[in-house]
Each structure stands twice: as C-alpha cells, then as structure tokens.
A and B are shown apart, each in its own frame.
Chain A
Amino acid sequence: MFRFIVRRLLQLIPTLFGLSLLLFIWLRRLPGGPETAILGERGTPEMRAAIRRNLGLDEPILVQYARFVRRLIRLDLGTSTSTKRAVTTEFIERFPGTVELTIMAMIIAIGIGIPLGYLAARRRGRLLDHLSVGGSLIGICIPVFFLAYVLKAIFSENLGWFPSSGRQDPTLGATRITNFFVLDGLMTREWDAAADAIWHLVLPGLALASIPLAIIVRITRASVLEVLNEDFVRTAEAKGLTERTVRNRHVLRNSMLPVVTSIGLLTGGLLSGAVLTETVFAFSGIGAFVAESISQRDYPVLMGFIMIIAVVYVLVNLLVDLSYSLIDPRVRVR
C-alpha cells in the first residue's frame, strides 16, 4: 500500500511539470505579456521596460523558466493586481468557503442521489424510475448559473426563506479562527453563527448539487440493476436469506463501488471552485474570485489559482484511487 502511494505520488511529477510548462507558456502568451498582467492596461513604456528588466524577461528563456519553477515550488505565486495581496494568501482565505460549499453540495447529492437511484432500480419501469431518470437528464442539461438564479429568485427573493448572498450575516460578529465559518461557530459555541453559516449554504449547495445529484442517481441505478442480475444475489435469495439481508449485505454493498468512484471524482471537480454558483450567490470562495479575476484581468490570480486547483484536483483523484482499493478487496494493491 505504502509503495503504491509513493509510486502514485512520483507519477504526479511529470503531470505537474507539464502543467507548469503550460502555465509558463500561457503567461507569456497573454495579450500584452506578463508586464501587462502586472501593470494592467495603464503602464507607461518606461514602466513596462523596468518591469521586464525586474522580472528578468530579457534573459534566456530557460533561465526564466527555471526561476518560474523555483517560485512555484516556494509557493510564491506573485501578487494579485487587483487586491495587491499575495495570491497564496487570497487562496488560503477563500478555500475554506469553497470546501464548506462542496461538503454541503455533496451531502445533498449523496443523501438524495443514492436512495433515489436505488429505489429507481428496485422499481424499474415504474413511475418513480421514469421520474428519477427524466429528472436526472434535465439536471444535467440545466445551465448551473440559470438554476442558481431561479433558486435565488424563488426561495430567497420571493419567499424569503434563505439569504440571497454571502457566507454569513456580518452583523452577528462571529469569531473567526479557521475561516471555516461552520466549524468556527461550533468551536466557539456561537451556535447561531454556525446555524447562520449553514443557512447561507443551502441555496448555493442545492444549485451546485444539481449535476452531481443527477450523475449519482444514474450511476447508482445502473449499478444496482447490474448487481441485481448477478448470480450471487440469486444464490443469496435461494438459500433463504431475508430480502432485507440480501438488499443491504449483497446488493447495496456490491453496487457502491462505481458510485464511490464517481463521488470522489465529482468532489474533486466541485472543490475546484464553483465559479458559476459562487458568482451568482456572491459567495466568497475561490470560484467567485476566479470569475472576478477574469473581469479584472488579474492574471497572477488566475494562473496561481489554476495551478493550486490542479494540484488539489490531482491529489483528490489519488485519494479516490486509494479508497477504491480499500472498498473492493479485488482491486487491492499488493
């Protein structure tokens, strides 16, 4: 197991190397080049020349790339041109919000998706099956930002059940420790602050959950249908086990493998920042900041965030592979 992890981590190196190369080229090819990325549109020619000298852009390309990689390894991703703060600081401050939102969305998607997919498979061809399959198709086809606006318009602006934006009511004056607002509330026993933070997560969580939910329903349904046809299920029934035992011990457990895999991959995708959902709900996570940095042409932020997100994404996928071998003894690595 340990050797497997080490081998997988070593395999990351070429991927990361390639990514850094892509980003390096990307940054150099940007309209106006890096000096525009730093100065914005305003710089004078003299300022541009100074910046070029400062950044060492007059040196050989390999030297420049080496310096770029050295900075990446030191996690020095430059300074945001819009907030004038280090890109890594901005990321660390915003990542907890995205993590909370991702957890909320996945709780919704898994909590509804697995039971619904399972029931649809058990009642194959009946109304519930058709509804859940049809619903999941529509869930995939709705543009997420449109769904977010609809949810906001109905449940926040018309019915007033949920807040329409932000992560927490600032008038509560909640104590900040980790920037995970829910966790902070629980740790400081400010229960109302924690509840308020959860309340703020519901609508964006629902919008973000739409696609994972649809995918989980479909994969669960397909997987359960396949397992129901397996010989061992018939054997279990034939030897007189109760329906409940067969269902829980044999069908459900064996059908969960593809579901767990897809849950892992979906979580990785969500962690990479719900750019659209966070923007609609003005939720200060990494996604909303990415969207903002696009309109601000804040290229250091865009590049730095993409690099960190790619690393997070790859690491999550690694965890998924590892959990795969924990669940299914058949694919356990030696």
Chain B
Amino acid sequence: MTITSGKKKEKIDRLAELAARDDERGVSLWQEAFRRLRRNPAAIVGAVILALFVLVALVGPFLVPYAPDAQLWKGEVRENIGYIPGVRAENWFGVDHIGRDEFSRMVVGARQTLLVGVVATLIGLAVGSLIGGIAGAAAGLGGRWGRALDNVLMRFIDMLLAMPSLLLAISIAALLGAGLTTVMIAVGVVSVPVFARLLRGSMISQANSDYVLAATSLGVKKPKIALTHVVPNSLAPVIVQATLTLATAIIEAAALSFLGLGNNDASIPEWGVMLADAQRYLDAAPRLAILPALAIIITALGFTLLGEAMREALDPKLRK
C-alpha cells in the first residue's frame, strides 16, 4: 500500500515536473498566431503596405516639396478648355484642378486618411466593446437583472443593425453637419454593432470554458473573473475586426465625402475628398481621380489582407 502510494506520488511529481517544463516551452496563443502570421505571404504583403502607409502618413508631410494648399500653378490651369498640367519634373503627380501640387496633396492626404480611419475605428471599438462587454458580462453573471440588462443592450444594437450602414452614417452626418469630425463619428458609430456583438458572443462562449470553472471553484469573485479572465481571452476576434474595420472605414469615409458630407476644410487634403472632387474633372485629368482611388484601394487592401491573415492565424480550428 505504502509502496504503491509512494510510486503514485513519484509519478505525480514527475508529471508535474513534465507539465512545468512543458509550460516553459509552450507558447501562448498570441505567440503561436504571430509565428503563423509570419509564414503567411498575404500577411507579409499587408504588413508591408501598412508600414509604408503609416510611414508616409507620419513622415511624409515634413518632406513634401510644396504646401498642399498653395495654388502655385493656378495661372496654368485652363478649365474652360479642359487643360490641367500633367506629370512633369516639378510636379511628380501633376497639378490639381485649382493649381495645387498633386504629389504634396497625396502625401499629406495620407495622414488625414489614416487619422479618419484610426479615429473612426477607435470610436467603434471603444463604444462597441463597452456595450458588448457589459452585455456579455451581464449575460455571464446571469440573474434576472443581468439577463435584462443584456437584453436591453442587445435590442439597442439590433436597432442600429436594422438600418443599412450607409444610411445610418448619412443620417448621423446630416445631424452633425459636414466635416471631418462628422465623418469619423458617423463611420465609427456604424461599426459599433459589429464590435458589440463580437465581444459579447466571444465572452459568452468563453464563459463556459474550464478556466472559468477553475477560477470559480477557487473562489474568485464573478465580476473579477469577467474582467481579468474572460475579457482578455475574448479580445482576439475584436482585434481582428478592428483591422478589417480600418479598411471599410477608409472606404466609407470616401463615400461620405462623395455625397458632400465629408471634410469641408479645403486646406486639409484627404483622399476621399480628393477623389470626390476629381469626379468633375474626369475628362480633363483622370489621374486626379485615379491616384487617390488607387491609394484608397491599396491601403484598404493592406488592412484587409492583414486582418484576414490574423483571423486565420488566430482561428482555433486551423491551429495544429
């Protein structure tokens, strides 16, 4: 009896030792995801595009040859005969419809575009995660009040979803009046329901996992479990969604600009507004539309590629 129990003890000790060592060598979900991300060519392409975009947005405005709002070649533009100076030595991307250097505007515009995308996404992420997190925690904590709170919050989210996103953005923009802040808020609010539903769903599925049971049986208070265990483990899909939302935010901002609800401050160039303005000069200078359009497409592509690759890397179904 004592011998067997001693053996058993030994065995358990060895197992514990192995487990401890295993833990040392083991990699977290994020590390593993990152490792898989590095091997994915789509992720690399996306990351390179984004690195270039952020670099241009941060550093570019200090290096541009001309002020983006200086109408230095105004005299050369002949709108009545449809002449706008094109690509040449002093204007790498030509001149725009009122005689400003297009290259400088594109570079400075990168910063505005990044700003709109990031702020809009942050608004959606913050508000959506707050609503979704509270709803998820309330649902997980249970009780009549918890379920009621979850229900009320989710019905509100359903209401936002009942309106097609562009119309929702339009009605918000109509309320606030055209401008850069308006675009950020409108585009941000539109993405709130997605973030809220994602975080709530993710939290509810995490609530049934073993580590929650373990923490509960150790006597950790439920609100603390929700905040320190469930929320961090539920964030992965939200972060992926934020990357993808950055792409749609830039495209939606361009759409609002096209409808005349965008940035009305002409001295600050922004790709969406530039694209919208250029529609009137398609015959005279198609490049004025094509350049910002390409810039928007490539940037959105970068965010989408990286987001999709992240989603794949974090998907537990694909992990082996």
Contact = CB atoms under 8 A, between A and B. Distances in A.
A complexed with B:
yes
Interface of A: 14-15, 18-19, 22, 26, 29-31, 137-138, 140-146, 149, 153, 268-269, 272-273, 275-276, 279, 290-291, 294-295, 299, 302-303, 306, 309-310, 313-314
Contacts of B293: 142-143, 146
Interface in B256-293: 258-261, 275, 279, 282, 286, 289, 293
Nearest to A29: B175
B247 A294 contact: no
Given A19-B162, A153-B282, A269-B164, A145 B304 contact: no
A31 B170 contact: no
B163 A310 contact: yes
Interface stretch (B10-18, B65-73, B76-84, B153-161): B153-161
A144 B255 contact: yes
A229 to B, nearest CB: 11
A295 B174 CA distance: 10
Contacts of B301: 137-138, 141
Contacts, number: 107
Contact of A141 (B166, B177, B251): B251
Nearest to B167: A306
A294 B162 contact: no
A67 B63 CA distance: 60
A309 B166 CA distance: 12
Given A15-B159, A31-B177, A146-B275, 5 more contacts: A137-B301, A137-B308, A138-B297, A141-B247, A279-B259
Q: Give chain B's interface residue range (CB within 8 Å of chain A).
A: 35 or more
B296 interface: yes
B300 interface: yes
A19 B289 contact: no
B171 interface: yes
Contact of A142 (B159, B259, B260, B297): B297
B162 A290 contact: no
Nearest to B296: A143
B118 to A, nearest CB: 18
A275 B165 CA distance: 11
A15 B156 CA distance: 8
B192 interface: no
Interface in B212-259: 247, 251, 254-255, 258-259
Given A19-B162, A299-B174, A141 B255 contact: no
Nearest to B305: A137
A275 B166 contact: yes
Contacts of B258: 143, 145, 276, 279
Contacts of A291: 259
Contacts of A309: 163-164, 167
Contact of A18 (B156, B286, B289): B156
Nearest to B251: A143
A18 B159 contact: yes
Nearest to B247: A141
19 contacts: A14-B155, A15-B158, A18-B156, A19-B163, A22-B159, A31-B175, A137-B305, A140-B247, A141-B247, A141-B296, A145-B254, A145-B255, A146-B254, A273-B164, A279-B258, A294-B259, A294-B261, A295-B259, A309-B167
Contacts of B155: 14-15, 18
